[in-house]
């Protein structure tokens, strides 16, 4: 008799205060596991790998900083308050969470990973071949964009926010497909990266497909996702405004982020080529010595003289 009343009271409390703190121990355990696995790998696996024995550091200072940034980003995107506001109140925050998990987090993870650790995670040759195939630009781009489209299906979104296993499964699928998508760009193993020109074309194409759900959200009339059509409006945003902001985050935020990387890659390639052409360091032309001339004459047999006419 009292249990339903307690649940109703808790629900009313949450509706009255969207910013009420909610603990997520599953997120804390995930973060602790990631940090512990990283520490264990660097301490007990890395020093005995062929790459490290050949002189490669277990992890550079830059890789350690990027790992800390990736862990903090994972924690902030998955814990209170972003998780709770995105799940219960604002689809714009939900979109920001997805953008973080698919656009910002994966490149940090890959850039923070030493080559030996990446190869150890891939594992055996058979698994490595499968992952290498899945990480090919066409395959990885297709998987990623399909996952992006699937995670915006209204029926699936409305169901996932009230179904924890489905919700976390979609997040795992989004992160995994995003890691595959980013592998041709920033893979720790140079053999799995594509050239500068290919990266720029690839990233541009990755910025095109998300414009479809972004435009749909921006110009939709009424609530696309019924779950977010509730009485409590965080920051006073209406359902329509919330959806328009979500569309803008997906289109402008995602596209500008990818285009900024394209510009960076173009300048990096241009400066590398320009530096080679403008370098004042020139390899000296080899000088021809008397010994070289004598050696060549000795190497080449003399031509026979033509017979004289009598």
245 and 237 Cβ atoms separated by less than 8 Å: yes
How buried is residue 288: exposed, middle or buried, by Cβ count under 10 Å (0-12/13-18/19+)? exposed
Residues 7-18: tens digit of each pLDDT = 444 444 555 588
DSSP class of residue 254 equals H
Average pLDDT, integer, range 179-193? 95
Is the pLDDT at 269 greater than 90, yes or no? no
Higher confidence at residue 17 or residue 288?
17
DSSP string, 136-154: SHHHHHHHHHHHHHHTT-H
Q: Where are the domains of the chain?
A: 17-276
**pLDDT number for residue 218:** 85
Is the pLDDT at 6 greater than 60, yes or no? no
Cα dist from 267 to 103, 198, 220, 260, 309, whole Å: 21, 15, 39, 11, 72
**Sequence-separated contacts (24+) of 196-201 with Cβ below 8 Å:** 196/265, 196/266, 196/268, 196/269, 197/269, 198/137, 199/262, 199/265, 200/262, 200/265, 200/266
Average pLDDT, integer, range 141-158? 94
Mean pLDDT of the chain: 86
Rounded to 10°, the helix 25-40/61-78 angle is 170
Residues 101-138: tens digit of each pLDDT = 999 999 999 999 999 999 999 877 888 899 999 999 99
90 and 161 Cβ atoms separated by less than 8 Å: no
Average pLDDT, integer, range 156-181? 93
**pLDDT number for residue 53:** 92
**pLDDT number for residue 1:** 41
Spatial neighbors of 171 by CB under 8 A, at least 6 apart, are 78, 101
**pLDDT number for residue 3:** 45
How buried is residue 232: exposed, middle or buried, by Cβ count under 10 Å (0-12/13-18/19+)? exposed
Spatial neighbors of 179 by CB under 8 A, at least 6 apart, are 106, 109, 110
Higher confidence at residue 97 or residue 213?
97
**Confidence band, pLDDT 50/70/90 cuts, at residue 143:** very high
């Amino acid at each position: 008799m009292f249990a339903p009343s307690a649940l109703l009271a808790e629900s009313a409390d949450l509706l009255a205060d969207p910013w009420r703190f909610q603990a997520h121990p599953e997120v804390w355990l995930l973060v602790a596991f990631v940090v512990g696995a990283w520490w264990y790998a660097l301490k007990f696996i890395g020093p005995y790998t062929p790459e490290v024995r050949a002189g490669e550091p277990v992890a550079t200072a830059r890789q350690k900083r990027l790992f800390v940034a990736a862990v903090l980003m994972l924690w902030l995107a998955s814990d209170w308050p972003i998780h709770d506001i995105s799940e219960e109140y604002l689809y714009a925050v939900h979109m920001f969470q997805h953008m973080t998990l698919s656009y910002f987090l994966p490149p940090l993870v890959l850039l923070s990973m030493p080559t030996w650790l990446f190869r150890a995670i891939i594992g055996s040759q058979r698994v490595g071949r499968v992952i290498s195939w899945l990480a090919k630009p066409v395959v990885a781009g297709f998987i990623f964009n399909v996952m992006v489209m699937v995670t915006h299906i209204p029926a699936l979104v409305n169901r996932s926010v009230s179904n924890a296993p489905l919700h976390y499964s979609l997040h795992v699928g989004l992160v995994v497909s995003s890691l595959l998508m980013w592998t041709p760009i920033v893979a720790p193993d140079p053999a799995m990266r594509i050239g500068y020109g290919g990266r720029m074309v690839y990233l541009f194409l990755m910025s095109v497909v998300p414009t479809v759900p972004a435009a749909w959200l921006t110009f939709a009339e009424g609530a696309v996702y019924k779950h977010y059509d509730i009485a409590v409006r965080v920051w006073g945003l209406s359902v329509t405004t919330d959806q328009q902001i979500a569309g803008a985050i997906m289109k402008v935020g995602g596209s500008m982020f990818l285009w900024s990387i394209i510009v960076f890659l173009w300048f990096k390639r241009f400066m590398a080529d320009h530096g080679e052409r403008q370098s004042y360091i020139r390899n000296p032309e080899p000088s021809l010595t008397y010994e070289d001339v004598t050696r060549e004459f000795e190497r080449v047999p003399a031509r026979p003289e033509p017979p004289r006419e009598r």
